Chain A
Amino acid sequence: MTDAPIRTFDPVALFAHRFHGHGDTLGIVYHAHGPDWAELALPYDARLIGDQASGVIASGPILALMDMATSVGVWLKLDAFKAHATFDLRVDYLRPARPGRTVIGRGECYRITRSIAFVRGQAHDGDPADPLANVAGTFMATEGYW
């Protein structure tokens, strides 16, 4: 077994010591990560419902989930925490999330320049081959990524 590379940015610690904010209010938690991607989980919660008749959650929490997952993906690719802000985000809502299911959002950073990070991602509710949302976007580093 080879040694894993030593990494300085730890998303597990980030989510273990989170301050109370919108992510906590929605119930978003850490799920998994790799060298340039993060998966966050959004458990089903009646407070997120956007359509009373069906019990389907609103699209806003999925946007927030993907915003956060792609943001963490940038810090993982950088292997450092840098202050940045979402510059733009596009979300395609491929299908409604199934009521009762936890939504998993996977965000990946595939390119970083000094000022801009490019991200993409997908959300699913159990089967990654059956995504419910696809996203693409950019982040801007306020002081530059390097």
Chain B
Amino acid sequence: MSLPYSELLGLTEEPGESAPTLVMAFGTHVLGRPGFLHGGAIGGLLEMAAVAALQQVLAGEGAARIKPINLTVDYMRGGRDKPTRARGMVTRLGNRVANVEAIAWQDDPDRPIAAARMNYLIAR
């Protein structure tokens, strides 16, 4: 997780069996309107969680490169002044493309603040 953009967001990683959980601390660097997370920071966190999930699934394959095709983000609740967690789930891994879902939450994973569906091109 030494990517410059991960460092800009201030992400840390908690290992997980199927996918890692990424943690983003609250701060002015991810602030949108006063008191709330920026939608772009939440979206960026979801994308990084999706990529991390895909990388974990592809870990045995060596040099596969991942390119984003598109994403759709639904914002469900405002992100408040507390840590935000996000985890991705690879719903289908094909030869050339992968479908990945990710959710972001603060207190309870069953009450997500945002969810995203993402499609990736895999260059093997």
Listed in ascending order, the chain A residues whose CB lies under 8 Å from chain B are 19-23, 25-26, 46-50, 52, 57-61, 63-65, 67-68, 83, 85-93, 96
- In chain B, positions 26-42 with a C-beta closer than 8 Å to chain A are 28-34, 36-41
Task: Choose among B32, B43, B45 the residue that contacts A89 (Cβ–Cβ < 8 A).
Answer: B43
Taking A49-B3, A93-B69 as given, write out 10 further A-B residue pairs in contact, using a Cβ cutoff of 8 Å, ordered by the A residue number.
Answer: A22-B31, A50-B3, A57-B5, A64-B41, A86-B39, A88-B73, A89-B39, A90-B73, A92-B69, A92-B70
Interface string of B1-37 (1 = CB under 8 A from A): 0011101110000000000000000001111111011
Q: Does B90 contact A (CB under 8 A)?
A: no
Task: Choose among B9, B34, B67, B75 the residue that contacts A86 (Cβ–Cβ < 8 A).
Answer: B75
Considering the complex, give the chain A residue whose CB is closest to the CB of B77.
Answer: A85
Give the distance in Å from the alpha carbon of A4 to the alpha carbon of B70 in the complex: 39
Tell me if B8 and A25 are in contact (CB < 8 A). yes
Once A50-B3, A52-B3 are accepted as A-B contacts, the answer to whether A60 and B31 lie under 8 Å apart by CB is no
Query: In the complex, what's the smallest C-beta–C-beta distance from A119 to chain B, in angstroms?
Result: 12
How many residue pairs between the two chains, A and B, have CB atoms under 8 Å in the bound complex?
113
Give the distance in Å from the alpha carbon of A65 to the alpha carbon of B39 in the complex: 10
Task: Choose among A21, A57, A86, A96 the residue that contacts B31 (Cβ–Cβ < 8 A).
Answer: A21
Q: Does B109 contact A (CB under 8 A)?
A: no
Q: Does B98 contact A (CB under 8 A)?
A: no
Chain B residues with Cβ below 8 Å from A93 are 67-70
Give the distance in Å from the alpha carbon of A89 to the alpha carbon of B45 in the complex: 15
Tell me if B48 and A88 are in contact (CB < 8 A). no
15 A-B pairs with C-beta separation under 8 A = A23-B38, A48-B5, A50-B4, A58-B3, A59-B71, A60-B44, A63-B73, A64-B40, A64-B44, A85-B36, A88-B72, A88-B74, A88-B75, A91-B70, A91-B71
Q: Does B83 contact A (CB under 8 A)?
A: no
Once A22-B31, A64-B44 are accepted as A-B contacts, the answer to whether A89 and B5 lie under 8 Å apart by CB is no
Give the distance in Å from the alpha carbon of A49 to the alpha carbon of B73 in the complex: 21
Chain B residues with Cβ below 8 Å from A96 are 67
Give the distance in Å from the alpha carbon of A23 to the alpha carbon of B41 in the complex: 9
Chain B residues with Cβ below 8 Å from A46 are 4
Chain A residues with Cβ below 8 Å from B3 are 49-50, 52, 58
Tell me if A61 and B72 are in contact (CB < 8 A). no
